[in-house]
Amino acid sequence: MKFRKFARILLLSMAVPFFSFAQDWHVGAFAGISNYSGDLVQQKVDLKYTRPSLGLLVRKDINRYLTLRAGFTWGIVAAADSTNAEPSLVARNLSFKSNVFEGSLIAEINFLDLDEKGFTPFVFIGVGGFGFDPTAKDISGNVVRLRPLGTEGQGLPQYPQRQPYDLFAWSFPMGAGVKAILNDKWTLGFEIGLRPTTTDYLDDVSTNYVDQNTLLAYRGQKAVDMAFRGDELTGKQTPGVYPPDGSKRGSAKYKDWYAFSGFTITYRLGGGSGWGKVKATRCPILR
């Protein structure tokens, strides 16, 4: 519900240029990759789980050095313990995948006058709201939504401090890039953007295991199966058993992150070159 309300407000703001036609508005698209950082990777970002991302955006030039941007971006985040080197993570054997739908409002700070130089590096910072829904494939290959299972005891009376997590959270886009003018209408850019978030459940992993019998009684066998998957290991790996109540499953010390990086292409609405500047008209050459 929160995400839908946020998305409606954002889409309304993105539609403003079509009602207030001006030369310093730009509309465009984003295409790139998405990455994840959280409890299921050892390093900050595991490039093996790079996935696609796409988006739409609207820019408003405030002056030569400040641009405001509204955007709506979709991406996929994923990770799995099976590709980690740490034995304890491999033994846990968890995995997840989630679509991320983000709406954002961002300020871009340009280092150069884009119209004068033809290009500029920039940094950006902003705020976003995003929806997510972690899933994983069970041993039979079926996709299972993880939040309804309460894998860490969310919503159980025996663990009153653990409430079901919200599938809407806030993010704080930040990063850097470069953009260049292709002609009077089109601008091409490239950026790398990180998103620290307010949730530690982007991957459905945060704290400790709960009692196996309690989870079984309240949520069923599927919840137990997806809470610990070390018993599914085969080959050189020795299958494990469900850990005791209170054993470490994840870490709540840091929230999860995701990243969107890629190219933007924008089209300038109206005429002129922006910010009230008028390009000189060349006189015809007489021969």
**Helix/strand/coil (H/E/C) assignment for every residue in 232-252:** HCCCCCCCCCCCCCCCECCCC
| Mean pLDDT for the stretch of residues 94-120 | 97
Residue 204 lies in a domain: yes
Residue 1 lies in a domain: no
Q: Is residue 220 part of a domain?
A: yes
Q: Is residue 43's pLDDT more than 90?
A: no
State mean pLDDT over 22-49: 90
265-287 mean pLDDT: 56
| 10 domain-assigned | no
pLDDT above 70 covers a percentage of the chain that reads 86
158 falls within a domain: yes
pLDDT of 21 above 80: no
What's the first-to-final CA gap in the chain, in angstroms? 69
SS3 226: helix
Domain extent for 190: 22-269
Tell me what pLDDT residue 265 has.
98
The answer as to whether 14 is a domain residue is: no
Q: Is residue 162 part of a domain?
A: yes
Residue 108 has pLDDT above 80, yes or no: yes
E-strand ranges in the chain read 25-37, 51-61, 66-80, 95-110, 119-132, 135-137, 143-145, 168-171, 174-181, 186-196, 257-268
**Residue-level pLDDT at 282:** 35
CATH number of the structural domain spanning residue 119: 2.40.160.20
In a domain, 208, yes or no: yes
Where residue 283 falls among pLDDT bands split at 50, 70, 90? Answer: very low
Predicted pLDDT of residue 287: 37
Q: How many CB atoms lie within 10 A of CB 280?
A: 5
Q: What confidence score (pLDDT) does residue 94 get?
A: 97
Report which of 59, 58, 39, 41 is spatially closest to residue 50, judged by C-alpha positions.
Answer: 41
Q: What is the pTM (predicted TM-score) of this model? A: 0.86
Confidence of residue 81 (pLDDT cuts 50, 70, 90): very high
pLDDT of 273 over the 80 cut: no
- For residue 280, name the pLDDT band (cuts at 50, 70, 90): very low
List pLDDT tens digits, range 33-42: 999 999 999 8
The per-residue pLDDT for 278 is 40
Residue of 225 and 238 predicted with greater confidence = 225
Q: Report the percent of the chain where pLDDT is more than 90.
A: 80
Q: Count up the domains in the chain and report the number.
A: 1
For residues 207 and 249, the answer to whether their CB atoms sit within 8 Å is yes
